[in-house]
Structure 1
Amino acid sequence: MEHIDDYDMLDKDLEGSLRYARECYAAEAEEIANDESRDWSERIRADAELVHAKMTKAEKKKQYQMNTRNKELNEIFISLEWPLFEKLDAADGYIARMFKECSAMNIPPSMYKPFILEKVKDMIDQIAEKRETLDKQRPNQKEGVVTNASMRSRRRLQGN
């Protein structure tokens, strides 16, 4: 194997080789996507490759950013999912108890369900307002600086 001193030439050769391989695979991908005897996973992968091949560089960059953000959102949600689930489960228990007590008092569901749900929404708004007020009262917290408290607050905001 010969030694290559010109790395720019190597990059161009590599880009050309990749482009050629993608073009060859695109032809094969179209054939796989249309072949109904193939596995669904193969056909879906081939179809995705065809869509990717037709995208512009800007569209690919935007798609990459969206995928990255979706992954980050998912990681944030997963990190707090269980504690949130437990709290919502407890809240559901309270609401179910309210519903049972209203039924026991012979109040029709068409009357108590909207009433209780409106009260719960109002409580959520009050909690959000309280959090916003507390956030404004912290003078030492600079705008844009991420602290543990601001991260918790942001996570809570995302849940509402």
Structure 2
Amino acid sequence: MQLDVLIEDERWDTAGLEAIAEAAAVAVAGVLALDAEDWEVSLMGCDDTRIAALNTEFRSKPTPTNVLSWPSEERAADTPGGTPDLPEADLPGMPVELGDIAIAWDTCAREAQEAGKPFEAHVTHLVVHGILHLLGYDHINDADAALMEGLEVRILAKLGLPDPYSS
């Protein structure tokens, strides 16, 4: 698996974003039975100012958010709650570019603190969430949300982390 990590906010280096993302990506691949070596993800660790600018530019929402993703192509299922078309490598040794993810330190830290969750666990969940978006999963409707959230719970359990949706 190729994981290209760009750190724009040094706090992400201290938190070990690259190691968190690698573990999350391997777990996603394992649960979905994908060969991790066949795909590539770009991840940017930034702050609220940067992610607010991206959220404004791409979603017309001038506020910070925790994570954003930009799939390289549309992979969504044709029917609500259906499994997306998962990527397959075209050429040996040439990974499929799934897309880009940006994650904001300030929002992640605030959310983790407010929820009483360890920062690393919350960030891991958000990286898993972002990768699933790149793979075509979404939470636009109840059926899609149930599928995506169920996968997140299974993937996080594989990493020894609790269900982020339980209260």
Q: TM-score range by the shorter chain?
A: under 0.3
Which structure has more helix as a fraction of its residues?
A: 1
Larger Rg: 1
Flag the structure with higher strand content.
2
Instruction: Please give the TM-score of this superposition, normalised by the length of structure 2.
Output: 0.20
